[in-house]
């Protein structure tokens, strides 16, 4: 791309139309799918030719999407100034974004298969205080994206080669292989969402499968082949194993799509990652922008002795919070502690986030007792009494809720804890797995100490620290300890001359 002049409006490549097509499709899928339900019901009646309606609808929808994408590209402009980038967009409703370089927390890029052939990328800007990507530059060259990083104060890479290992003056931190993809896929809970969508389809298949099995058994009996109970059990087991295998394949395939050839490296004071099978995603985050570091471990990850490490940036609200997260999908406990020392150095980072460490201070056992009392005993007693007349002895089954709550509460209490030094605090929690959250005191925006009536009687309180990326709560600690921590955190905030975001 030629050198751009300041204060001059430019268009991106015409291949940006592909970006706007995808954006329009996502918008329609998000906001217009409800209207398809009555149309589908209308089309199912005998008065209409379903095939003709589908053809006409597909042609019309394709024309709308293509026309909207072309117009969106035609009215899209951008301009560089000394300290910002301006973006004009919109066909009917005009919109101009003025993105100051000082507010940009990271420049992320995406590269679909077509853009990969054409050596183009889509640039996304993450800014402090926004709930998602504030602006996009579709279909620009990678060299332009690198020069843009340089212009806003990021250290540029010395080469734009596809192989990340060839990047000069950078420190490689993580490189994941296909075995890691399998581990990530096995531990990923998002495949459950896929099965939630295909659940109705599976139900229909199951109804048809019953008929097939019945006809197969009758056919086998007519040919002198008998199936006993053991054969039926083996058949049912095979079906269950097939469903589980499908679940595993979907999850592993999703991991390959998102993290294939994932690599993480430190470029000066900027974290960068790249990965993806069909669409390559490149993310970046300034170390100084990190609000919290979270180390998470699910059930499968516990067996693997692996964790998911995420660094969260400032975000305006809970909406699109996931877009403000820098993720390292698979790390070991020791590796995670080495990373946090690197990310927080020289200011902090000496504390551990390994949840198995015995240095965490426990919270009060009244945390467990309060939940057993208010969530377990009282609801079970009230429901049992309310249903005793109509259900008789069966109402006593509701009392089984009490041992369930007791077991969950005990497990959660045993896994809860916290530790801190003069600069940071780490909170531990979990039930089936673990989660630890670490943060710097100086980045806290607000801190509160609260007491319920039950806590007040026991001399306990809950400390909650509010960050630009969310809040972190330490429950059921000594009231005096909570107040001392609150006052000290406020002191660190007021005495620090560093930016909080």
| CATH number attached to the domain at 16-161 | 2.30.29
More confident residue, 334 or 499: 334
The string of DSSP letters for 412-441 reads: HHHH-EEEE-SSEEEEEE-SSSEEEEEEEG
For residues 350 and 460, give the distance between their C-alpha atoms in angstroms, rounded to a whole number: 28
| The pLDDT value given to residue 295 | 95
Handedness of CA 19, 144, 174, 134 (dihedral sign): negative
For residues 277 and 259, give the distance between their C-alpha atoms in angstroms, rounded to a whole number: 7
For residues 74 and 63, give the distance between their C-alpha atoms in angstroms, rounded to a whole number: 16
In the beta sheet, which residues pair with residue 264? 174, 273
Question: pLDDT grade, residue 289 (50/70/90)?
Answer: confident
Q: Comparing C-alpha atoms, which of 172, 169, 118, 124 is closest to residue 141? A: 118
User: Which of these ranges, 200-204, 324-328, 365-369, 468-472, has the smallest mean pLDDT?
Assistant: 200-204
Highest mean pLDDT among 147-151, 159-163, 268-272: 268-272
Strand ranges (E), 225-317: 263-267, 270-275, 280-286, 292-297, 307-312
Contacts of 265 (CB under 8 A, 6+ apart): 164, 167, 170, 171, 172, 173, 271, 272, 273
Write out pLDDT tens, residues 216-225: 666 666 666 6
Query: What share of the chain has pLDDT > 90, as a percent?
Result: 43
Cα 298 to the chain's mean position, in Å? Answer: 14
Question: pLDDT grade, residue 165 (50/70/90)?
Answer: very low
The two most distant CA atoms of the chain are separated, in Å, by: 88
Q: Which two tokens stand for residue 40?
A: 């589908």
153: left (phi over 0), alpha (psi -120 to 50) or beta: left
Q: Half-sphere exposure of residue 362, counting CA atoms within 13 Å on the CB side?
A: 12
For residues 387 and 394, give the distance between their C-alpha atoms in angstroms, rounded to a whole number: 9
| The pLDDT value given to residue 231 | 65
Mean pLDDT of 262-284: 90
Query: What share of the chain has pLDDT > 70, as a percent?
Result: 79
For residues 442 and 372, give the distance between their C-alpha atoms in angstroms, rounded to a whole number: 36
The answer, yes or no, to whether residue 2 has pLDDT greater than 70, is no
| The pLDDT value given to residue 46 | 54
Query: Between β-strands 417-420 and 325-331, what pairing exists: parallel, antiparallel or unpaired?
Result: unpaired
Q: Comparing C-alpha atoms, which of 415, 418, 413 is closest to residue 439? A: 418
More confident residue, 483 or 57: 483
Instruction: Tell the residue number behind the tokens 């089984």, with chain if given.
Output: 400
For residues 335 and 425, give the distance between their C-alpha atoms in angstroms, rounded to a whole number: 19
Mean pLDDT of 433-452: 94
More confident residue, 221 or 165: 221
Contacts of 324 (CB under 8 A, 6+ apart): 126, 131, 132, 312, 313, 314, 315, 469
Task: Sheet containing 470-478: give its strands across.
Answer: 446-450, 460-467, 470-478
The answer, yes or no, to whether residue 22 has pLDDT greater than 70, is yes
Question: pLDDT grade, residue 84 (50/70/90)?
Answer: confident
Cα 113 to the chain's mean position, in Å? Answer: 24
The ranges assigned to domains in the chain are 16-161, 184-259, 290-363+416-495, 366-411
The answer, yes or no, to whether residue 115 has pLDDT greater than 80, is yes
Say if CB 489 and CB 444 are below 8 A apart: yes
Q: What is the CA radius of gyration of the chain?
A: 28
Question: pLDDT grade, residue 166 (50/70/90)?
Answer: very low
């Amino acid at each position: 791309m030629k050198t751009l002049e300041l204060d001059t409006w430019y268009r991106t490549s015409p291949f940006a139309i592909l970006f706007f097509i995808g954006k329009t499709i996502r918008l329609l899928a998000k906001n217009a799918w409800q209207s398809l339900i009555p149309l589908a019901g209308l089309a199912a009646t005998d008065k209409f030719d379903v095939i003709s309606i589908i053809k006409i609808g597909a042609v019309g929808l394709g024309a709308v999407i293509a026309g909207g994408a072309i117009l969106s590209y035609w009215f899209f402009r951008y301009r560089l100034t000394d300290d910002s980038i301006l973006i004009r967009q919109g066909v009917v409703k005009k919109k101009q974004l003025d993105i100051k370089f000082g507010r940009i927390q990271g420049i992320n890029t995406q590269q679909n298969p077509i853009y990969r052939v054409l050596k183009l990328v889509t640039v996304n800007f993450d800014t402090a205080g926004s709930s998602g990507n504030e602006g996009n530059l579709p279909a620009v060259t990678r060299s332009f994206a690198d020069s843009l990083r340089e212009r806003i104060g990021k250290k540029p890479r010395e080469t734009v080669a596809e192989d990340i290992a060839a990047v000069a003056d950078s420190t490689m931190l993580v490189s994941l292989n296909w075995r890691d993809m399998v581990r990530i896929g096995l531990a990923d809970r998002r495949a459950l969402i896929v099965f939630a969508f295909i659940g109705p389809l599976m139900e229909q298949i199951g109804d048809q499968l019953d008929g097939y099995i019945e006809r197969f058994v009758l056919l086998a009996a007519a040919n002198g082949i008998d199936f006993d109970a053991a054969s039926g059990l083996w058949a049912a087991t095979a079906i269950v194993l097939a469903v589980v295998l499908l679940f595993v394949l979907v999850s592993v395939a999703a991991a390959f799509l998102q993290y294939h050839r994932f690599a993480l490296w430190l470029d000066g004071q900027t974290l960068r990652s790249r990965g993806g099978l069909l669409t390559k995603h490149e993310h970046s985050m300034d170390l100084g922008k990190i609000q919290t570091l979270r180390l998470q471990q699910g059930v499968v990850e516990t067996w693997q002795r692996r964790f998911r490490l995420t660094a969260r940036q400032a975000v305006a609200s809970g909406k699109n919070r996931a877009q403000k997260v820098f993720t390292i999908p698979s790390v070991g406990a020791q590796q995670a502690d080495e990373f946090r020392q690197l990310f927080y150095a020289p200011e902090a980072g000496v504390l551990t986030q390994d949840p198995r460490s015995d240095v965490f201070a426990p919270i009060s056992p009244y945390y467990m007792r309060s939940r057993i009392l208010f969530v377990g005993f009282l609801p079970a007693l009230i429901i049992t009494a309310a249903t005793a007349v109509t259900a008789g002895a069966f109402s006593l089954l509701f009392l089984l809720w009490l041992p369930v709550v007791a077991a969950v509460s005990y497990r959660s209490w045993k896994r809860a804890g916290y530790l801190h030094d003069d600069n940071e605090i780490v909170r531990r929690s979990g039930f089936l797995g673990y989660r630890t959250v670490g943060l710097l005191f100086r980045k806290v925006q607000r801190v509160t100490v609260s007491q319920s009536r039950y806590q007040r009687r026991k001399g306990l309180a809950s400390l909650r620290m509010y960050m630009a990326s969310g809040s972190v709560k330490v429950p059921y600690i000594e009231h005096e300890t909570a107040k001392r921590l609150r006052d000290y955190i406020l002191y660190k905030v007021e005495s620090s001359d560093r930016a909080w975001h």
